[in-house]
Amino acid sequence: ILNVEQSPQSLHVQEGDSTNFTCSFPSSNFYALHWYRWETAKSPEALFVMTLNGDEKKKGRISATLNTKEGYSYLYIKGSQPEDSATYLCAFRSGGSNYKLTFGKGTLLTVNP
Amino acid sequence: GAGVSQSPRYKVAKRGQDVALRCDPISGHVSLFWYQQALGQGPEFLTYFQNEAQLDKSGLPSDRFFAERPEGSVSTLKIQRTQQEDSAVYLCASSLGLNNEQFFGPGTRLTVL
């Protein structure tokens, strides 16, 4: 059984604050790590697909890093806005059955105006 | 729209009823996935299709769950004799191929009373 953990479970920040979340995953048999943003009543939206140790990816105010040797990824949001409020999910793909996504439970971010 | 669509968006069923959940993938996507997200959990893999072939159904929780994709496009997830523990959000995703990025629909929220 693959174990993907996310922390914190929920987070409340003020508009303008910067924040970050953690996703930990098995460090062996790594294939890819995905980050999704899921707003209520909408489809999960892909943010990043990360495949190489040391990868850093950026999309506007959101960025992510990857450490496959120790099995963790960080997602950073700079200058949070109310529209960033969503659940952020990470999902791990192993090399064995790499079409399956194994998700963490998500981090629920609320940005107060 | 060009995204993955699911219907119904919400379904309330009495315990013991049969339900059918529909997924319309992105046109041309050969791979289709179903996931189940129970309250407080991350999405969990249920089953996977490559065109009309169901290649992995290892995540289906019981023989009351049945999925099909007869023409390699639209898929239906059927749950027979629903139980309260079947209450969850059911997500469908499609991708161009086995290892490509998965695009998600908005999900069907099933509540079994």
Query: And the tokens for A78?
Result: 């700079």
* Res. A104 pLDDT band, cuts 50 70 90: very high
Confidence grade of residue B2 (pLDDT, cut at 50, 70, 90)? confident
Q: Residue B91: pLDDT above 70? A: yes
A46 — contact with chain B (CB < 8 Å)?
yes
Nearest-by-CA chain A residue for B33:
A100
> Could you give the CA distance from residue B15 to residue A35 in angstroms, rounded to a whole number?
35
Which chain B residues touch A89 with a CB distance below 8 Å?
42-43
Task: Read off the pLDDT of residues B16-46 as tens digits, 9 standing for 90 and up.
Answer: 999 999 999 999 999 999 999 999 999 999 9
Q: Which chain A residues contact residue B42 at CB under 8 A?
A: 4, 6, 89, 91, 103-106
* C-alpha dihedral sign at B39, B43, B44, B46: positive
Q: Who among B42, B56, B106 is closest to A42 (CB)?
A: B106
The CA distance from A19 to the nearest CA of chain B, in Å, is 21
Q: How far apart are the first and last CA of chain A?
A: 40
| Residue whose pair of structure tokens reads 């079947």 in the numeric block | B86
